[in-house]
Each structure stands twice: as C-alpha cells, then as structure tokens.
Structure 1
Amino acid sequence: MADDTELRRTLAEGAARQLANATKTRAQWGGITPRWLVPLLQWTPVEAGIFRLNRVKETRGATASSSFDVECSPRRDRDPDLPETFVDYDEQPREYFLNAVTTVLDVQTRVSDLYSHPFDQIQEQLRLLIEKVKERQESELINNAEYGLLANTAPSQRIVTRKGPPTPDDLDELIAKVWKEPAFFLAHPRAIAAFGRECTRRGVPPPTINMFGSPFLTWRGLPLVPSDKVPFDEHGKTKILLLRTGEKKQGVVGLFQPGVPGEVAPSLSVRFMGINRKAIASYLISLYCSLAVLTEDALGVLEGVEVDRYHEYA
C-alpha cells in the first residue's frame, strides 16, 4: 500500500486536465424554435418589394355566387336574349410592401483573429443572429400590426370560444369559417395541449400525423401547428388560427424578393459594412418579407381561448 508521500507525488486530475483538449460544442441557444409557419406557407416572389392585391368588387349584401347575372342556356321556346354583365374590379387595390427585419453584428477583429479555432467567431455570431432574425420573422408574420395574420383577419371571420378551453365544437366552427380547402391550424403549444385535454375528456382523443419528421395533433384531418409567437392577452387568453394557403387557392401567401444583394437564403442577406478605426468589423443582416391574405375567407381566428382553467370543466 502506497504511503502518503507516494500519493502526493501522483499527478492530480486537475493538473492533468490542463494538458487535455476539451471537446467543445457550438453555442446552444434555447430560443430557437421549429418555426413551422414559414415552411407551411407558400411564398410568392415580388418585384421591387411591392405586391398589389387585386380583388373583385363585391356587391354589398350579395354572396359570391349571386354577385353576377349569369343564366343557363335558355329553352328553345324562350326569348334567346342573354343577360349582359361583367366582372368589376376594386379600383383601389391594396399594396403590400416588404418589411425588413434587420440587425448589425459588430465583432472586434482581435477577437476574430485570435479566437476562431475550432469555431470561426464571425460565422458563429452570424449563425446565431440569423436564427434570431428568423424567430422575429415568424413573430412578425403573426403579430405585425400592418400585415400580420391577426391584424388582417376580417371581423366576420372571428369567433369566440364557448367555454374557455378550446373544444372540438370551437374548431368545427372555425372550419365552417374557412371551409374551402383549409390547410392547418396555428396555435400556441399551451392552447394545443388544452385542446388535447378537452378532447380526451370527451373521449375523442385527436389523431396524430407526422410532418417534417415530427408528430402533430390533428382535428378533422387538419394539423394543429404550434408556435410560441401566438400571443396571450392581458387576461391570459390566446387565439387559434385556421389558414388556407397558396395563391391558386386564393389563400394566405408569404411575400419575398429573390436576388437581394448579399443573399445567403431567399430574401435573407448578409453584407460586410467595413472596419472602423477602432478595429470593429460590422455585418448587416437583413430579411425582407411580408404576408397577404388574398380573400377574407382564407383566414379565421378563434378568440378568448383559455389554457389554465381546465380543472373547472373536468
């Protein structure tokens, strides 16, 4: 058995670690989310950052099918005169302008010169800031006061939940509002969990499907897509949205401009802005986007959704 002197002569672990190379990870940021809304939308390229939405002028109080005077072929014993009509257009169509989500990265050149192994400091900073810009993009698509989904939902397309927690009846009413080929629901993860609990309580647990390699709850075959950007109001209530997507279906479309200077992804650019006299290198990160609801019935919203009062109805 070794005596105390021999033990003291043994290389200590703490000292040994000084000569060892630690395996390092990239910087992990817990704020990164899947951002399902962006890949689920269909994106329309625009020129000069402008998208003009032309719509048919609807007769007040008339339905889409009764706005125009159209007849079937007349019988032979009837007067062959046909009705004369035309399709009128809105004379003042709305124009959407691409908005920019931007940030500037500043890096001390001494830091990037000396401390860029094994990970390039500039590339790591750009990677993380691009993730933050994309997170902001999803938030703007939902919440922007000018073009966001919530701000552009027609009053006739808004309904209020019957009980508080979202129920199958609520989502059925939402489907009745967006009944022409709806694509998916969009809700906060806590609202989706509350809906799942309500379905289970009623004995109709919602089926699950796989998209993008991940499971999604569904209702009537439509996936409930989670996004933590769907807000809560001051009373702790949130909303559930239902969208129809695509220009061919007169749905909701994302807007972007391809070919912007310094493009590293569609409508996303990174440009070097130079080095100042204090040896600070600057990079401009810009993402240009907008969103348009082509017809009012392409988007519906369930309001007043509560997620923390399930016990009152259990």
Structure 2
Amino acid sequence: MTATVGGTTALGDNAARQLANATKTAPQLATITPRWLTHLLQWVPVEAGIYRVNQVQNPEDIKVTCTAKQHENQLPRTYVDYDAKPREYFLNAVSTVLDVHTRISDLYSSPHDQIKEQLRLTIETIKENQESELINNPDYGLLSQVSDEQRIFPLTGAPTPDDLDELLTKVWKEPAFFLAHPLTIAAFGREATRRGTPPPTVSLFGSQFITWRGVPLIPSDKVPVADGKSKILLLRVGDRRQGVVGLFQPGLPGEQSPGLSVRFMGINNHAIASYLISLYCSLAVLTPDAVAVLDDVEINKYHDYSVLDTYK
C-alpha cells in the first residue's frame, strides 16, 4: 500500500510493517500477585511429610517459687506434662499435568521458549493457589485455625484503629504483620485518616505498606470478601517465637524451588510432551495466641459515620 504526501507517492506504513520485526513480550498473566504471605512466613523443612506440634499440657500447673534460703523439703516440686495427642500436620500437594505438543515447542520457540513459558505460567498459577490454600484451606489454612478466643468483631462495622488495637491485645507477643484484602486496607486507611491519624508507611521488599502501631498491613487478594465484608488477620511468625510457620518437603525429585517439583513424564503417541508439576506445602500455628482475626469487617466505600463519634 502506498501513501501520498504533498503530491509525492511513497511506501505506506501498513506495507512497511510487513518487513519489520515486532518486539514480543513474554506472556503476561494478570492473576500474578506479589504473594507477600509466602515471603513473610518462615518455612520449615518436613521429613516424611509429617509435622507434629507438641504442646505443654496445663502450663499453669508448673510450680516455681522465689524465696531466700528455703530448705529442700520446703521447695515446690513440679514437672512439665505434655499433650498425649498432639496435632500432626500433613503436607498437601497442589498439582497439575502440563501438556505441550512437540510441534509447537519445535517450531515456535523463538524468541520465547514455549516449554519454558508454559512451565513458568503454570508454576505462577500453582503458587497463587498455594497462597490461597495457606489462608483458606479448611484443614490447615489460617482462618480455620483461629481459636474462638482469638476472634473479635468490629465496633462499628468498618475497620478502625480501635479494632486493630484490639487485635494487638490478642497477639501482643511480637506481632509480625496484619494480613487483609487490599479493599479492607483501603477502608482502614479511610477510617484512620478521618480520625486524624493517617497511618505511616514502611518499606518492605522495595514496596510501601501502611502500618498501625509499627506493624505493617500486608495485602492479599486471597483473603475472602463476601457481601461487602472481609477479615483482618494478625500473625506472629517463626518457630522460635512459637508463631505461624510454613511447611515444605525438601529434596524432591525434579526440585525447582523449596517444595516445588517439575518432572518430565514422557511423550505419548500423539506427540504430546507431559510435565508433572507439584507443590507440597502446609501451614502450622504453633500456639493459639499466634494468630487472631477481626471478622465481618465492612469494606464498602461509604458508611454512616455518625455512630463512630461515640468512640472518639
């Protein structure tokens, strides 16, 4: 196709583009998130896929005294008893089989390797599912392991500084971070700013997070939202702090990263190459006061603020 400019005929843009090479991006997957939760947890290697959490039974029965120059027969005698039926956590697998036609990988792998990109995008999706399971799994997810004593409800519906202070009374021993949906964090930011206490920010992993009492609010779109309501969790993490820990299986065949395995399964008679991708993980709450949740938080944009005045 030609173009006429100022009475002169010349090669047009559309025709010229046929000789040009387009710069091609790798496939962009919109569902990829930073997955901060998996970065902030301590991950503990598990042998044989089983993790047993031993607990002290009746800790209030451990007797000690602080007195000067007591005779031996006047000192309290005690021992530390253990729970005879401790909870055991078993690693769960997030798995899929990826199929790639050999013709596709042979002919269309420039400039991007088709097998590499198929594996990368599938692994990203598996890791997104992993974070969702760590929060929502009915057996080992964070929300399923919160005890009744560690559940509270908002004073006014919307998440306020008072509510987060109440959460901090539940996990007061070295709290690590709040975990909430981005919409919930935005709702808290509005409430805090309205009260004249805009939350300060902190830099983690090169990104900015708002904080409350120095504890960062970490966003995750895997925290459920239903009917305009959501939840805010507060966690203590690490085995030395008797907190929350992630569990993974080390030394897997075809290990690509901790707990993640990619294994080639062969090529069938239809020239389809198959790859088994598995991610083995779980999550343990070592003591009940390591996690608390603020339930039924309203995250709608507009609220009746008149009720809040009572709590100023």
Among candidates 203, 206, 209, match of residue 210 of structure 1: 203
More strand as a share of residues: 2
Q: Aligned to 2:156, what secondary structure does the other structure show?
A: coil
What RMSD, in angstroms, separates the aligned Cα atoms of the two structures?
Answer: 1.9
Aligned length, in residue pairs: 304
Distance 1:117 1:23 in 2: 12
Residue identity in the other structure for 1:212: F
Mapping for residues 1-314 of structure 1, pairs under 5 Å: 10-58=10-58, 64=59, 66-75=60-69, 80-233=73-226, 235-308=227-300, 310-313=302-305
Whole-angstrom distance in 1 between the partners of 2:303 and 2:296: 17
Q: Which string of whole-angstrom CA distances, capped at 9 and with x for unpartnered residues, describes residues 199-249 of structure 1? A: 00000001000000000000000000000000023x321000000000000
Q: In structure 2, how many angstroms separate the alpha carbons of the residues matched to 1:73 and 1:177?
A: 33
SS in 2 for 1:311: coil
Kindly provide the amino acid, as one letter, of the partner of residue 70 in structure 1: V
- Amino acid corresponding to residue 168 of structure 1 in structure 2: P
Judged with a 3 Å threshold, the aligned counterparts in structure 2 of structure 1 residues 7 and 111 are, in CA distance, closer, same or farther, namely farther
Kindly state the Cα deviation for residue 311 of structure 1 after the two structures are TM-superposed.
Answer: 3.3
Aligned mates of 1:224, 1:189 — CA distance in 2: 9
Q: Which amino acid aligns with 2:263?
A: R
Q: CA deviation at 1:75?
A: 4.3
Counterparts of 1:232 and 1:150, CA distance in 2: 13
Taking structure 1 as the reference length, the TM-score comes to: 0.93
**8 Å Cα contact 1:165-1:309 kept in structure 2:** no
Which ranges in structure 1 are unaligned for 5 or more consecutive residues?
59-63
Q: 9-18 or 146-155, which moves further after superposition?
A: 9-18
Give the whole-Å Cα distance in 2 for the aligned partners of 1:193 and 1:44.
Answer: 33
Aligned to 1:61: none
Aligned twin of 2:310: none
Runs of 4+ off more than 6 Å: none
Return the alpha-carbon distance in structure 1 between the equivalents of residues 166 and 99 of structure 2: 50
Which residue identity does 1:201 align to in structure 2?
Answer: R
Shift of 1:11: 2.0
The one-letter amino acid of 1:40's match is L
Identity %: 67
Q: Secondary structure of 1:124's partner?
A: helix
Taking the aligned partners of 1:114 and 1:144, their CA distance within structure 2 comes to: 41
- Residue 44 of structure 1 aligns to a residue whose secondary structure is strand
SS in 1 for 2:240: coil
Q: d(CA) in 2 for partners of 1:90 and 1:248?
A: 19
Please tell me whether the aligned partners of residues 187 and 301 of structure 2 are also in contact (alpha carbons under 8 angstroms).
Answer: no
